[in-house]
Amino acid sequence: AQKITQTQPGMFVQEKEAVTLDCTYDTSDPSYGLFWYKQPSSGEMIFLIYQGSYDQQNATEGRYSLNFQKARKSANLVISASQLGDSAMYFCAMREGRNNAGKSTFGDGTTLTVKP
């Protein structure tokens, strides 16, 4: 079974609007971390935001927030006030184990296109 599932191969959003990128995960380890990365066309993977399995509050980093629903095993990324530069591939990833020192598993990614 796939550990990280991103069901949206592609998403479109109008500039200045908010968009939610879906991510569900599967693990039996009580300790895990969830990460979102952005990959522009240049290829570099850019870390955006992290949510730990024991974190009580949803993570936020500027325009990025993570809608963490532990019971549903979902960790959706919300981008507010989209900008043209947000157009990129977005990957959800999970690292299992204490201090999240285990192997990372990545989803298939979602291509986000921001329209002017």
Cα 113 from Cα 15, distance rounded (Å): 9
Of 7, 12, 47, 83, which lies in the binding site for other proteins, with binding defined by CB under 8 A?
Answer: 47
Burial 73-103 (b: 16+ CB within 10 A, else e): ebbbbbbeebeeebbbbbbbbbbbeeebebe
Q: Is 65 helix (H, G, I), strand (E, B) or coil?
A: strand
Of 8, 11, 22, 45, which lies in the binding site for other proteins, with binding defined by CB under 8 A?
Answer: 45
Choose one: 14-22, 40-48, 67-75, 77-85; the region binding other proteins (CB under 8 A).
40-48
Least gap, CB of 1 to other proteins (angstroms) = 14
Q: Which residues bind other proteins (CB under 8 A)?
A: 33, 35, 37, 42-47, 50, 52, 54, 91, 93, 95, 99-101, 103-109
